[in-house]
Amino acid sequence: MVIESLDICVMLGGPSGEREVSLQSGAAVAVALRSLGHRVSEIDPVDGEFRLPPDTGVVFLALHGTYGEDGTVQSKLDALGVPYTGCGEAVSRLAFDKVAAKRACAQDGLATANDCVVDDPGAGLPDGLELPLVLKPACQGSSIGLEFVKTAAAWPSGLAKAIEGGGLVLVEERIDGREVTVGVVGGQPLPVVEITPRHGAYDYANKYTVGATEYACPARFDPETTCRIQHAGERALAAVGGGNCARVDFIVRPDGEPVFLEVNTLPGMTETSLLPKAAAATGTGFAELCQWLLELALENPPLAATG
């Protein structure tokens, strides 16, 4: 599809805990789109409300976290009948809920870690799960509230911090393996990115501190394992309902089996973010990636895709 100059609204910032990252994503996208000759306005729905310019032809969503990825803004745009990048309201809402997304992927046959769900800050160490454990707020992004519990003594404080980050907590056995992510854009899996923090785990600090994490793209796997990971990414996105763009995270066991972690329906879009890194490995530059996402939004609007 070839599209000429468009009136585009980039939505960035917003009211979530990932506001600062979203501002960076949106600023990078706006610069890229202007470089392609598009007419670009920027809106920051910091209070959860917005009014689009009357000539807006498509919205580029550079929001992250609650409001941006949980289906809220998608529902508002659906009501306005304006196409937007990413996934539709129903898919976004399901994927943002780590518990619901995990259950959908497990039902589809993807490997997942043993887990339980906890909502009581006074709950004891779960029976039937082996240490070490990973604690994740069920509805947060960017590793906000992520906690690692290695010993029984560390459980109470770890649980308290995780619940503070979002209420309901998904508790999983920690899987030994290599952490990776795979983007799926327009039904096509991108090269696999391997994520290796220099120290500790891939938490919020290591994710957003320059130089704290090493990335390899394409990841150094044999062709069979690479295909296995990419296919798992496609299956995970399909399991939550599909969409024009997502990034799916896995831990790859030593035997090459990818274990599902989560689906990100609005991945970071700075020039150093993981989805742009993967696209760059195919020869697709940052501005080209932004254009591709716009074309997908216009060819296959998320509302139409989710029925």
Reply yes or no on whether 114 is catalytic.
no
* pLDDT of 89 higher than 70: yes
Reply yes or no on whether 92 is catalytic.
no
Our count of domains for the chain comes to: 3
Reply yes or no on whether 206 is catalytic.
no
Q: Per the domain annotation, does 109 fall within a domain? A: no
Statement to judge: residues 206 and 273 lie in one domain:
yes
| Average pLDDT value for the chain | 91
| Domain extent at residue 126 | 115-173
* pLDDT of 225 higher than 50: yes
* pLDDT of 231 higher than 50: yes
229 burial via Cβ count (<10 Å: 0-12, 13-18, 19+): buried
Q: Which of 14, 18, 26, 172 is catalytic?
A: 18
pLDDT for 283 equals 97
* pLDDT of 254 higher than 70: yes
Query: Which pLDDT tens digit goes with each residue over 35-56?
Result: 999 999 999 999 999 999 999 9
Q: Per the domain annotation, does 101 fall within a domain? A: no
Q: Per the domain annotation, does 293 fall within a domain? A: no
* pLDDT of 210 higher than 90: no
Reply yes or no on whether 224 is catalytic.
no
Residue 56 near residue 298, CB atoms below 8 Å: no
Reply yes or no on whether 178 is catalytic.
no
266 burial via Cβ count (<10 Å: 0-12, 13-18, 19+): buried
Statement to judge: residues 50 and 128 lie in one domain:
no
Statement to judge: residues 167 and 185 lie in one domain:
no
198 or 78: which leads in pLDDT? 78
Gap between the Cα atoms of 11 and 109, Å rounded: 35
* Strand arrangement of the beta sheet that strand 58-61 belongs to: 39-43, 7-11, 58-61
Of 157, 173, 189, the last residue of a domain is 173
Q: Per the domain annotation, does 138 fall within a domain? A: yes
pLDDT for 208 equals 53
Gap between the Cα atoms of 231 and 24, Å rounded: 30
Reply yes or no on whether 249 is catalytic.
yes
Q: Which of 25, 92, 206, 264 is catalytic?
A: 264
Q: Which of 202, 204, 208, 215 is catalytic?
A: 208
Query: Which pLDDT tens digit goes with each residue over 1-40?
Result: 556 789 999 999 999 988 999 999 999 999 999 999 999 9
pTM: 0.92
Query: Which pLDDT tens digit goes with each residue over 131-181?
Result: 999 999 998 765 678 899 999 999 999 999 999 866 799 999 999 999 999
Among 90-94, 186-190, 269-273, the minimum mean pLDDT is found in 269-273
* pLDDT of 307 higher than 70: no
Reply yes or no on whether 215 is catalytic.
no
Tell me the torsion sign for CA atoms 96, 100, 102, 104.
negative
Q: Which of 147, 172, 194, 249 is catalytic?
A: 249
Gap between the Cα atoms of 239 and 135, Å rounded: 23
* pLDDT of 123 higher than 50: yes
Peptide bond into 132 cis (omega under 30): yes
pLDDT for 201 equals 57
Statement to judge: residues 252 and 160 lie in one domain:
no
* pLDDT of 205 higher than 70: no
Gap between the Cα atoms of 133 and 196, Å rounded: 19
What is the phi/psi pair of residue 51, to 5°? -135, 120
Reply yes or no on whether 264 is catalytic.
yes
Statement to judge: residues 182 and 278 lie in one domain:
yes
Q: Per the domain annotation, does 106 fall within a domain? A: no
* Rg for the chain, CA atoms, rounded: 19
pLDDT for 207 equals 54
Q: Which of 16, 25, 142, 273 is catalytic?
A: 142
Query: Which pLDDT tens digit goes with each residue over 54-67?
Result: 999 999 999 999 99
Statement to judge: residues 88 and 144 lie in one domain:
no
* pLDDT of 213 higher than 90: no
| Average pLDDT over every residue of 212-223 | 92
Residue 105 near residue 240, CB atoms below 8 Å: yes
* pLDDT of 112 higher than 60: yes
Q: Per the domain annotation, does 141 fall within a domain? A: yes
Residue 104 near residue 262, CB atoms below 8 Å: no
Peptide bond into 218 cis (omega under 30): yes
Statement to judge: residues 215 and 263 lie in one domain:
yes
